[in-house]
């Protein structure tokens, strides 16, 4: 068997029988940092890198200069205009942050995230979101994710280089993959054990659910007073994210929303 997979990445993950997570960098500021992230990813078998609006544009020659054995990660990186688009096909997403966010999110460490990132169903795709080097992620960006991942750093020196944060997360994931390999098979034709239920809804489906509900609530005048709208939306999104809805549940809820909206419209027409 070749040491390298179809995209140039080392193929020993096939032996582990697991699909590596996706790393998403939001507005990374330096090509050198992206390259070091790619090297850290390659060290532990991660190969899917997504970039959201890199500050210095893309592609960036400086990324290749610091990627070392991770050049294949840099060359296959995907570019996105929004974080929502970058998360659309993912089902379980961790927002890495050292700051406190005013959101009712579960906070996990890298060990717990690594364990959960391996103990997933065939359909689940896992992502780790890393924020800007200078100030991390916004509340709106964290709200798109399932849980907050915080590293147990010393509070007197809590800031990590982005590649350092990636390598800690990737190490913990790979450690659990080595211990529990087989929970999810790589995309190479190996057999998988599928759960007898609808797949977990990905972020694109969840954003569609949010937009549907929020549009109806806007029309009904639910968000009062207007200045509290943003916080109310964050709370609603967190509630649904915590529920870990599957695809069938999302379809059911959207059917419920549509039915209620039609009933509301009929009620209004009957009064005119």
Burial class (CB in 10 A: 0-12, 13-18, 19+), 209: buried
Evaluate whether residue 208 is within a structural domain. Answer: yes
Domain final residue pick, 146, 165, 180? 180
- Is the domain of 162 the same as that of 228? no
Evaluate whether residue 190 is within a structural domain. Answer: no
Query: Along the 272 residues of the chain, how does pLDDT read in single tens digits?
Result: 233 343 333 445 555 567 899 999 999 999 999 999 999 999 999 999 999 999 999 999 999 999 999 999 999 999 999 999 999 999 999 999 877 666 778 899 999 999 999 887 656 799 999 999 888 999 899 999 999 999 988 888 877 899 999 999 999 999 998 887 543 444 433 333 334 468 889 999 999 999 999 999 998 899 999 898 999 998 899 888 888 898 999 999 989 888 888 877 766 666 66
Across-strand partners of 50?
Answer: 24, 78
The span from the CA of 95 to the CA of 131, in Å, is 8
Pairing of strands 126-130, 92-96: parallel
- Is the domain of 58 the same as that of 171? yes
pLDDT at 185: 41
User: Is the model's pTM score more than 0.85?
Assistant: no
- Is the domain of 154 the same as that of 225? no
Evaluate whether residue 8 is within a structural domain. Answer: no
- Is the domain of 133 the same as that of 216? no
- Is the domain of 214 the same as that of 260? yes
- Is the domain of 154 the same as that of 25? yes
Domain with residue 37: its CATH number is 3.40.1280.10
Cα pseudo-dihedral 214, 216, 222, 228, rounded to 10: 20
Domain final residue pick, 180, 195, 228? 180
The span from the CA of 56 to the CA of 30, in Å, is 7
- Is the domain of 169 the same as that of 235? no
- Is the domain of 219 the same as that of 155? no
pLDDT at 270: 64
Please state, in angstroms and as integers, the Cα–Cα distance from residue 230 to each residue in 100, 139, 237, following that order: 18, 10, 11
Evaluate whether residue 187 is within a structural domain. Answer: no
220-224's contacts with Cβ under 8 Å and 24+ in sequence apart are 220/264
pLDDT at 44: 94
Evaluate whether residue 6 is within a structural domain. Answer: no
pLDDT at 261: 80
Evaluate whether residue 108 is within a structural domain. Answer: yes
Which domain does 220 fall in, by range?
203-271
- Is the domain of 174 the same as that of 238? no
Domain with residue 210: its CATH number is 1.10.8
The span from the CA of 144 to the CA of 167, in Å, is 23
pLDDT at 192: 37
Domain count, the chain: 2
Evaluate whether residue 186 is within a structural domain. Answer: no
Domain final residue pick, 180, 214, 238? 180
Evaluate whether residue 3 is within a structural domain. Answer: no
Across-strand partners of 223?
Answer: none
One DSSP character per residue, the chain reads --SB-TTSSBTTHHHHT-PPPEEEEES---HHHHHHHHHHHHHTT--EEEEES-TT-SS-HHHHHHHGGGHHHHHT-EEESSHHHHHTT-SEEEEE-SS--SS---EE-HHHHHHHHHS--TT--EEEEE-BTTTB--HHHHHTSSEEE-----GGG----HHHHHHHHHHHHHHHHHHHTTSS--TTT------SSPPBP-HHHHHHHHHHHHHHHHHHT-S-SGGGHHHHHHHHHHHHHHHT-BHHHHHHHHHHHHHHHHHHHHHHHHH-
Say how far residue 2 (Cα) sits from the centre of its chain.
30
pLDDT at 13: 55
Tokens of 167: 């390598």
- Is the domain of 44 the same as that of 176? yes
- Is the domain of 122 the same as that of 17? yes
- Is the domain of 42 the same as that of 129? yes
pLDDT at 242: 86
């Amino acid at each position: 068997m070749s040491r390298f997979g179809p995209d140039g990445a080392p193929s020993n993950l096939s032996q582990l029988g697991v699909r590596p997570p996706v790393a998403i960098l939001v507005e990374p500021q330096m090509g050198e940092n992206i390259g070091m992230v790619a090297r850290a990813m390659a060290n532990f078998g991660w190969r899917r890198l997504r970039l959201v609006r890199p500050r210095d544009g893309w592609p960036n020659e400086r990324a290749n200069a610091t990627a070392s054995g991770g050049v294949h990660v840099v060359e296959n990186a995907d570019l996105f205009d929004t974080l929502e688009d970058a998360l659309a096909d993912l089902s379980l997403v961790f927002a890495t942050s050292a700051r406190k966010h005013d959101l009712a999110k579960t906070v996990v460490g890298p060990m717990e995230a690594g364990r959960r990132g391996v103990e997933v169903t065939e359909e689940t795709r896992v992502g780790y979101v890393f924020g800007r080097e200078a100030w991390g992620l916004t509340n709106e960006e964290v709200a798109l994710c399932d849980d907050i991942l915080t590293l147990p750093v010393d509070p007197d020196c809590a800031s990590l280089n982005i590649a350092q944060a990636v390598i800690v997360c990737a190490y913990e994931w790979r450690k659990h993959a080595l211990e529990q390999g087989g929970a999810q098979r790589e995309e190479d034709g190996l057999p998988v054990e599928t759960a007898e239920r609808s797949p977990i809804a990905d972020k694109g489906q969840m954003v569609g659910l949010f937009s549907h509900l929020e549009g109806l609530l806007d029309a009904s005048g639910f968000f009062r007073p207007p200045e509290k709208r943003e916080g109310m939306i964050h709370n609603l999104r967190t509630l649904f994210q915590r529920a870990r809805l599957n695809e069938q549940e999302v379809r059911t809820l959207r059917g419920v929303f549509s039915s209620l909206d039609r009933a509301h419209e009929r009620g209004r027409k009957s009064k005119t």
